[in-house]
Amino acid sequence: MADLRNKYLRHDKKFPHVWCPGCGIGVVMASLIRAVDSLGIEKDDIVLASGIGCSGRMPVYVDFNTLHTTHGRSLTFATGVKLANPDLKVITVMGDGDATAIGGNHFIHAARRNLDMTAIIINNQIYGMTGGQFSPTTPYGAFATTASYGNVEHAFSISELAVTAGASFVARGTVYHVPQLDRLIEQGIRKTGFSVIEVISNCHVQYGRRNEMGDPVTMLNWMKKSAVSVKSAAGKTEAEMAGRFSIGVLADLDKPNYLEEYDKIRQRAAQNHIRVNEESTEGKC
C-alpha cells in the first residue's frame, strides 16, 4: 500500500485528513485506490466528484481531477462532466444523506438515465459532519442528535432503491469485508452504465457513540455479524434477515446506456431525422 499511497495521494500539505481516527471512509478510499490501480486507469482520466459531508472531503486527498460540489448535487455535476467528455471515468463518492436525502431526486434519475458513471455511497447511517443528526438510513428506533427519543422514521435501503430506479450495476459491501469491497468497486467502475456501490461504514463517533457501538471495533464486529452474502440471503426469511443486510452484487444488467443512445440521436440529427411539429413552439403553458 505504501507505493499506492505515494502514487495516488496528494501528500503535499493535504494531510492530516479531517476524518476521525478509525473512520470507515479511509477504508473506502483505500479500496477505491486499489480498484483504480488494478484497472490500470490513468489518473488524468479520472474525475472524482463528491458532495458535502465527511465523505465529501475524499477528493481533496486523491490525486485525480477532483470536484467537490454542493450538498447532494455531485451526480448532476458528474453528469455534465461525463457528457462533455465521455472519455473520462467519472466516479462520485457520496454519503447516505448526501445521496438519498437532499440528493435523492438526482440519485434515482441518474440510475434511471443510465449514464456511464460510478456512484460510491458510503452509508454510515448518520449525518456525521454536521453533528450526528438522523439520516434516511438511520434505523427505526436508533438515536441521533435530532432523534434523542429514538428515530420514528423508517430507513430505506439505498441498494434496493438503486435497483428499483434502474441502475445497471448495484452492489453492497462493508468496510469490514475489504477484499470484497475492492472487487465490487472494480466491477462497478468496469461496468458500462450507471453503477452503484453502497458501502456500509462506521461512524462510531456520531452514530456508534449514541447507539452502544462507540468504537470502530464494535462497529466492525456489528458489520461482520449482520452481513449476509447475497446468495445465502436469498434462502432466508424476512424474519431471519431482520436487522441484517446482504452484501455482494444485487443487480448486474445489460441495458442501453445514455451515451450510446445519445450518439444515435447525433446521427439522426446529422441526417435531419426530426419529428418536430412546425407549430411546436407556440401555445405552451
The binding site for ligand SF4 (CB under 6 A) comprises 19-20, 23, 25, 54, 124, 128-129, 203-206
Shortest separation between residue 55's beta carbon and ligand SF4, angstroms: 7
The helix, strand and coil proportions of the chain, stated in percent and rounded to the nearest 5, come to: 40, 20, 40
Site residues (CB under 8 A) for other proteins, limited to 239-258: none
Q: Are 131 and 105 in contact (CB under 8 A)?
A: no
Candidates 20, 81, 101, 233; binder of other proteins (CB under 8 A) is 81
> Measured between alpha carbons, how far is 269 from 100 in angstroms, rounded to an integer?
36
Candidates 41, 66, 139, 215; binder of other proteins (CB under 8 A) is 66
SS3 state at 32? helix
Tell me whether residue 188 or residue 216 sits nearer to ligand SF4 (CB atom).
216
| Binding-site partner at residue 157 among other proteins, ligand SF4, none, CB < 5 to 8 Å by type | none
Using CB under 8 A as the binding rule, whether residue 178 contacts other proteins is answered as: no
Using CB under 8 A as the binding rule, whether residue 106 contacts other proteins is answered as: yes
The number of angstroms, rounded, from the C-alpha of 211 to the middle of its chain's C-alpha atoms is 24
The CA–CA distances, whole Å, from 278 to 274, 281, 282 equal 11, 8, 9
| Binding-site partner at residue 19 among other proteins, ligand SF4, none, CB < 5 to 8 Å by type | ligand SF4
Total of chain residues touching other proteins, rule CB under 8 A: 48
Tell me whether residue 132 or residue 193 sits nearer to ligand SF4 (CB atom).
132
- Apex CA 144: angle with CA 140 and CA 146, to 5°? 100
Candidates 5, 11, 14, 225; binder of other proteins (CB under 8 A) is 14
SS3 state at 46? strand
- Apex CA 131: angle with CA 127 and CA 134, to 5°? 40
Using CB under 8 A as the binding rule, whether residue 276 contacts other proteins is answered as: yes
Candidates 4, 15, 80, 241; binder of other proteins (CB under 8 A) is 80
| Binding-site partner at residue 20 among ligand SF4, other proteins, none, CB < 5 to 8 Å by type | ligand SF4
Using CB under 8 A as the binding rule, whether residue 6 contacts other proteins is answered as: no
Which position has the grid cell 446506456? 257
Using CB under 8 A as the binding rule, whether residue 163 contacts other proteins is answered as: no
| Binding-site partner at residue 39 among other proteins, ligand SF4, none, CB < 5 to 8 Å by type | none
SS3 state at 283? coil
> Measured between alpha carbons, how far is 219 from 74 in angstroms, rounded to an integer?
28
Using CB under 8 A as the binding rule, whether residue 174 contacts other proteins is answered as: no
Which position has the grid cell 453492497? 172
- Here the cell at position 2 is 505504501
